[in-house]
Amino acid sequence: MKEKGMKMESEKVSGILGLKDVTVSSKGQIVIPKELRKGTFPEGSQAAVIAYADHIEIRPLTYVLEKLECALISEPSFAEEWDTPEEDKAWEDLLDHALEYEQNKK
């Protein structure tokens, strides 16, 4: 992977346009370097901070809302199809089977 300063060639590393180190202030604040935020985070735009066990992502809020919209719209239709006594029984049987399998494996 070739580097130009701290910028990486995106054709070598898909999706990564740059890498910069930042310092977290005593208030937990960071500054996203200008060359990394331009285009993705224009001045005044809103961002979503997503915390994982091993890292944090900062994404445009519009991106996150678009991804969630599908899930939120789908939930009622899934509930109609899957929230039945038959489905509950199927899951219960599946969990019992998985437990039995794990116990027999030992």
24 phi and psi angles, rounded to 5 deg: -85, 125
Length of the chain: 106
Q: Which residues pair with 49 in a beta bridge?
A: 58
Q: Determine the pLDDT at residue 58.
A: 92
What pLDDT tens digit does each residue of the chain (106 aa) get? 444 444 444 344 457 888 899 999 999 999 999 988 888 888 899 999 999 999 999 999 988 888 887 766 666 666 676 777 887 777 777 777 778 877 887 6
Q: Determine the pLDDT at residue 46.
A: 92
Q: Determine the pLDDT at residue 73.
A: 65
Q: Determine the pLDDT at residue 102.
A: 77
What is the 8-class DSSP label of residue 31? -
Q: Is this prediction's pTM over 0.85?
A: no
Give CA–CA dist 15/9, Å, rounded. 10
Q: Determine the pLDDT at residue 70.
A: 72
Q: Determine the pLDDT at residue 38.
A: 83
